Amino acid sequence: MEHVILVRYGEIALKGLNRNYFIELLAKNIRNTLRSVPSAKVKKIQGRLIVNVNDEDLNRAMERVQKVFGIVSISPAIVIDSNIEVIEENAIKQVRAAEGIKTFKITAKRGDKTFPIKSPDLCCRLGEVVLDAVPEITVDIHNPDLNLWVEVREQTYMYHEFIAGNGGLPVGCSGKGALLLSGGIDSPVAGYLMAKRGVEVIGVYFHSFPFTSDRTKEKVIDLAKIMSQYCGKIKLFVVPFTEVQTKIVELCPERQTTIIMRRYMMRIAEMIARNEEAKALITGESLGQVASQTMEGLAATNAVAELPVFRPLIGFDKTEIVKIAETIGTFETSILPYEDCCTIFVPKHPETKPKVSEMLRSEEKISEMMVQMMATAVANSEVVKL
């Protein structure tokens, strides 16, 4: 008897002629997440993906597979021959192995139409043999203690447990985006949500050493590692930002420094995005959360970007964002009390309704020198592959 993981995909099933592309990409992403599990093999059958794995690797593999976007649920299953005597024998074994049950139900699905027994007849037949073999339990078709599923396909899969996946689309099917990743709570959640819609994420972190310490950089790397459990491989660019940031603070009006800094972050992130053939920028901004995230502030930062800017958290409040961060496991790392380049040099009275024309006038003093400073920052970026 062989154990496998039975993988169900949801939204992909709604695709038309290109459905196979999405399924192949999902299979590839599952293989990538299981690359450290040598026994794992992924194969495609009608309407499902099957992961064959050694028994000792089963739990570890399930933990990883359920995080892959594009999967709605998985089930640990046994695989047996599509022979009615073998199916009956194993149905009895599965029911007997279930501890403490008083009621059961058989749900049979005949995917292989050459199998001679139709689904309703197979349910009845298996129910009868189980009742004969285990007379101390009864059938309950509405609320059974155990619902034993039997799927007759190219082989027969038998299982009783459903483990929810994260849904969404396979990472990579919607292109690539550059995520402005800080050490805070919001940006990892924003990256997670865009990856869930199939976007391959690269990270761009702005490091202002010595104002932000190497502990902060390690914290961001740790956040990217956690995200990679869902998003797949992540390429993280650590951008040296000290010279750019200090020049802004030195030469620009204090009230405008936060917005102008954000505008240069967007410019640098877009340079990296274009180098990496990314088609969009992603930020963790939420409308009204801080002084720079007013409509006017977001318009001022948008004005410097030619690529689309995705803000998946724009309508979320902090409680909702924290809840997702806790669910995906980034929250505890995000709240470590290390410095953030966005929170150093914060003006006492920041501009909340900036005008683009005023930003441009203020940037005239630094725009020429910034061309070279931005190019240097991009060229000297450290690349961390996770």
Sign of CA dihedral 32, 37, 38, 41: negative
**Rounded CA gap, 235 and 382, in Å?**
10
How many angstroms separate the first and last alpha carbons of the chain?
Answer: 37
Where is the binding site for ATP, in residues? Answer: 180-181, 205-206, 262, 284, 293
**Rounded CA gap, 168 and 157, in Å?**
25
Name residue 79's amino acid: V
351: tokens are 């501009």
Where is the binding site, in residues? Answer: 180-181, 205-206, 262, 284, 293
Going by C-alpha positions, the residue among 340, 69, 9 that lies closest to residue 182 is 340
The answer to whether 107 and 147 have CB atoms below 8 angstroms apart is yes
